[in-house]
Amino acid sequence: MRRRSAYYGGVFDWETAERRLAELNALSENPEFWNAPQKAQKLMRERSQLESSFDNIKTIETDLIDTIELIELSEIEGDEELLVEAEDALLALKNKSDHAKLQALLSGEADSNDCFVEIHPGAGGTEAQDWAAMILRMYLRWANMRGMKTEVLEEQDGDEAGIKSATIKVKGENAYGWLKTESGVHRLVRISPFDSNARRHTSFASVWVYPEIDDTIEIDVAESDCRIDTYRASGAGGQHVNKTDSAVRITHIPTGIVVQCQNDRSQHKNRSQAWDMLRARLYELELKRREEAAQSEADAKSEIGWGHQIRSYVLQPYQLVKDLRTSVETSDTGGVLDGKIDLFLSAALSQNATSESSED
């Protein structure tokens, strides 16, 4: 099922949004509205986002009028201090407008959903596993700075350091919309702390982001198409580790998709979460198929598809993080690895919107 959208090509459609908000207000007044709590919460979140968009646009419009009047007044009176004040207000207004524009770009079918983030090290043993752990920490820090909640669903420790794999769930407003462009291969260049000869190493880690699905989206999965394995959870600190086969792995045979969950002591709860993850992966696969069908250039799709290098993080011999799709770069490598990745997310969203507009 496709959700109604008040955005078209990254532009807020005022009339469509007004009609949708009126519809949501009417639905919320229905006595049976909360009989389906999950669906009701989703609709209330959509209503809140629409109200916020209206408020932002009205505020920007009012502030712009006030600032123009302030500039005109400063010119009439020849007041330099007042002109500087007006210029500062105009700069603040630009920043607010840019933020509103980015929010408007989050208009995809599942952009408002929570999401899952899978991280796997590439070849290279301990060095790659340590890099995968750094990537995991980067996303956890990013989510925390944005006030989003995270849950580690599965994490396998590396042999000496780092991780062999990890899956986290990110919960928050437009979680999938913000993170969806992070799918791909991330490359690290540094002096290895695990090399006694202090040589420079190149490591790779892959990231896969896919949206959680809700009850407005139906994904049918036949159990006969799946293989379900249980195993003993592994990881530091769990009291249930190596005592019960609580961890669950589900393999979807037709597509080869594998999901696993071990965060709970209950096998039943891990199984339920794993099924949710599998349905989400299949939904994400369908979204990708739609995108591929709509793309006129197959090569352009492969550049941003999962499994291809999207960003390079160089720590030695110089400091630079560069996105290979948008060419956005920064020398603040420490900040990026601490979760300050909004400049890359914003650029990727803008680029995608521009590409979609040109295709239309």
Radius of gyration from C-alpha coordinates of the chain: 23
| Fold for the domain defined by 7-105 | Methane Monooxygenase Hydroxylase; Chain G, domain 1 (1.20.58)
Contact assessment for residue 47 and residue 22, using Cβ atoms and an 8 Å cutoff: no
The CATH 1.20.58.410 domain(s) of the chain lie at 7-105
Taking the C-alpha atoms of residue 185 and residue 205, their distance in angstroms, rounded to an integer, is: 6
Phi, psi for 231 (deg, rounded to 5): -155, 170
Chain region(s) in the chain for CATH 3.30.70.1660: 115-359
CB-count exposure of residue 227 (10 Å: 0-12, 13-18, 19+): exposed
At residue 33, the pLDDT reads 86
For the CA atoms of 67, 70, 72, 76, the dihedral, rounded to the nearest 10 degrees, stands at -170
Average pLDDT (187-197) is 88
CATH of span 115-359:
3.30.70.1660
**pLDDT (tens digit per residue) in 105-158:** 776 778 888 999 999 998 878 999 999 999 999 999 999 999 999 999 989 998
CA distance 274 to 280: 10
Q: How far apart are CA 208 and CA 213, in angstroms?
A: 16
Helix H or strand E encompassing 299 = helix 298-304
Rounded Cα gap, residues 305 and 185, in angstroms: 9
Q: pLDDT category, 241, cuts 50, 70, 90? A: very low
- pLDDT tens string 242-300: 456 788 999 999 888 899 888 888 888 888 888 888 888 888 887 777 666 544 433 43
Cβ 283 vs Cβ 211: under 8 Å: yes
Amino acid letter for position 233: A
Could you give the residue ranges of the DSSP H alpha helices within 146-266? 175-179
Find out whether 192 and 200 touch, Cβ atoms under 8 Å: yes
* Helical packing angle, 80-105 and 37-77, nearest 10°: 160
Whether omega before 193 lies within 30 degrees of 0, making that bond cis, reads: no
For residue 3, the model assigns a pLDDT of 40
Over range 44-68, report the average pLDDT. Answer: 84
Mean pLDDT of 47-64: 83
